[in-house]
Amino acid sequence: MKTRIKNILQEKPVGQLVSLGGWVRTKRDTGSFSFVEINDGSCLANLQIIADEKLGNYVSDIKQVSTGSSVMVEGTLQVSPAKGQDVEVHASCFRVIGKADPETYPLQKKRHSFEFLRELSHLRPRTNALGAVSRVRSRLSYAVHQFFQDRGFAQIHTPIMTTSDCEGAGEMFQVTTGQEKTKAEHFFGRPAGLTVSGQLQAEVYALALGDVYTFGPTFRAENSNTSRHLSEFWMVEPEMAFCDLQGNMELGTEIIKYLLQDALTHCPEDMQLFDKFIEKGLLQKLENIVQKDFVHIAYTEAVERLQNAPKKFDYPVKWGLDLQSEHERYLSEDVFQCPIIVTDYPASIKPFYMRVNDDRKTVAAMDILVPGIGEIIGGSQREERYDVLEARMIEAGINLADYTWYLDLRRYGSVPHSGFGLGFERLVQLVTGMANIREVIAFPRTPGSAPC
């Protein structure tokens, strides 16, 4: 039975036979034996294997083995006399499974830049940093489900191909077969695209099951080449019936704190690596976010703060204009030095489904902005009043006939309800300290780039 390095290092069954497979990270030969460090991806740490020349294939195979080769090893776990590790394996059988030509294998021992590694999305998970990101991402994904399931939320699988373009949140990728003979012919009877958000469909289920969430891939065909935008990303979208903006803000605060704490608790070794090599002080920063209250500030006050800032911005600041990432980061990094929740944005810059406030100029929106990233959550209380919603849709130029189902939710048993979208990659960026979003998704898709 194969054992994984993570389990071996946790349980340390000294004196017992272990059997494992992995990829060679380094090898050192000394006289009559070799030290081979292997990694199997189960954890950050390598395990040292000692292969003695008495092994039958020592000269023919083991001495030739180089970085990147895959091997299978059987041997006894022993306490290691060397510094830097507690245990090592004394191999009784050491098989080289797949060689990696040292002349061409691109991942040599030195540290490579993330830009270089992006060209190698098929090999980069074998590096320490990208391996750690992958494990932490997986853990966070599990924690998202745990968070909601523990609180009685039902997961809804909302469609990926859709005929409703939710808000014009971003430009949609079109879905066609390529075989349509005329422009009017559509596979689904009308134009369809890849979803930009599962929200509208989640609302349907919130008004039946109460508390629901979706967690799936989302697509935006916008041409933004930034360190925080992808063309395909994952979004966590809770939707709650009988819930106002206050309850929505509470859930957003709670889930961020919960997910950060989960990674700190369950991925200590990988988190140490990020703290040491990716963002100095990361652990302290995350612990502060978990401990401290988030600052609440209305959009109007945020604009005043920005206008009086002793800092020059590239983009203009004026009531009625959207906040840019530089503004968001200034507020959360420089002014408050913690996550902030900006509420009550002008109705004119927010989508039709957000609930109109009594002042009729602003809507019950809330964005959560975090240091280093800017917007991580965008949400709102939804407009539950039929007449107000209908008027907003007409104003936005929406074809009401396509949204009778959405309006029906307000016609039959409408309730105040709220929800938000949490960008999963931006969360993984926050947790790992990775500066570029392309490093926190396995196969990034951005304008001009989707290598594998």
Stretch that binds ligand ATP, among 6-14, 129-137, 151-159, 230-238 (CB under 6 A): 230-238
Site string for ligand ATP, 1-30 (x = CB under 6 A): ------------------------------
What type of residue is 220?
Answer: R
The residue within the footprint of ligand ATP, chosen from 229, 285, 327, 355 (CB under 6 A), is: 229
The residue within the footprint of ligand ATP, chosen from 22, 193, 378, 444 (CB under 6 A), is: 378
Residue number, 416 or 421, with CB nearest to ligand ATP: 421
**CA nearest neighbour of 285 among 368, 227, 372:** 372
Stretch that binds Mn ion, among 192-200, 337-345, 375-383, 427-435 (CB under 5 A): 375-383
Does 376 contact ligand ATP by CB under 6 A? Answer: yes
Question: Distance between CA atoms of 198 and 164, rounded to whole angstroms?
Answer: 10
Stretch that binds ligand ATP, among 75-83, 185-193, 278-286, 370-378 (CB under 6 A): 370-378
Q: 449 forms bridges with which residues in the sheet?
A: 446
Question: Distance between CA atoms of 106 and 376, rounded to whole angstroms?
Answer: 35
Does 379 contact Mn ion by CB under 5 A? Answer: no
Stretch that binds ligand ATP, among 18-26, 75-83, 389-397, 418-426 (CB under 6 A): 418-426
Three-state secondary structure readout of the chain: CCCCHHHHHHHCCCCCEEEEEEEEEEEEEECCEEEEEEECCCCCCCEEEEEECCCCCCCCCHHHCCCCCEEEEEEEEEECCCCCCCEEEEEEEEEEEECCCCCCCCCCCCCCCHHHHHCCCCCHHHCHHHHHHHHHHHHHHHHHHHHHHHCCCEECCCCCEECCCHHHCCCCCEECCCCCCCCCCCCCCCCEEECCCCHHHHHHHHHHHCEEEEEEEEECCCCCCCCCCCCEEEEEEEEEECCCHHHHHHHHHHHHHHHHHHHHHHCHHHHHHHHHHHCCCHHHHHHHHHHCCCEEEEHHHHHHHHHCCCCCCCCCCCCCCCCCHHHHHHHHHHHCCCCEEEECCEHHHCCCCECECCCCCEECEEEEEECCCEEEEEEEEECCCHHHHHHHHHHCCCCHHHHHHHHHHHHCCCCCEEEEEEEHHHHHHHHHCCCCHHHCCCCCCECCECCC
Residues 109-168 binding ligand ATP (CB under 6 A) are: none
Does 377 contact ligand ATP by CB under 6 A? Answer: yes
Stretch that binds Mn ion, among 264-272, 346-354, 356-364, 371-379 (CB under 5 A): 371-379
The residue within the footprint of ligand ATP, chosen from 423, 433, 439, 444 (CB under 6 A), is: 423
Residue number, 378 or 433, with CB nearest to Mn ion: 378
Which residue's CB atom is positioned nearest to ligand ATP? 423
Residue number, 233 or 406, with CB nearest to ligand ATP: 233
Does 378 contact Mn ion by CB under 5 A? Answer: yes
Site string for ligand ATP, 169-188 (x = CB under 6 A): x-------------------
Does 353 contact ligand ATP by CB under 6 A? Answer: no
Distance in Å, CB of 162 to Mn ion, minimum: 19
Stretch that binds ligand ATP, among 28-36, 149-157, 373-381, 392-400 (CB under 6 A): 373-381
Does 428 contact ligand ATP by CB under 6 A? Answer: no
**CA nearest neighbour of 256 among 293, 220, 226, 231:** 293
Does 233 contact ligand ATP by CB under 6 A? Answer: yes
Distance in Å, CB of 320 to Mn ion, minimum: 16
Does 194 contact ligand ATP by CB under 6 A? Answer: no
Does 421 contact ligand ATP by CB under 6 A? Answer: yes
The residue within the footprint of ligand ATP, chosen from 135, 137, 220, 329 (CB under 6 A), is: 220
# chain residues binding Mn ion, by CB under 5 A? 1
Residue number, 239 or 425, with CB nearest to ligand ATP: 425
Instruction: Name the residue with tokens 């929106």.
Output: 365
Which residues of the shown chain bind Mn ion in the complex (CB under 5 A)? Answer: 378
Which residues of the shown chain bind ligand ATP in the complex (CB under 6 A)? Answer: 169, 220, 229-230, 233, 235, 375-378, 421, 423, 425-426
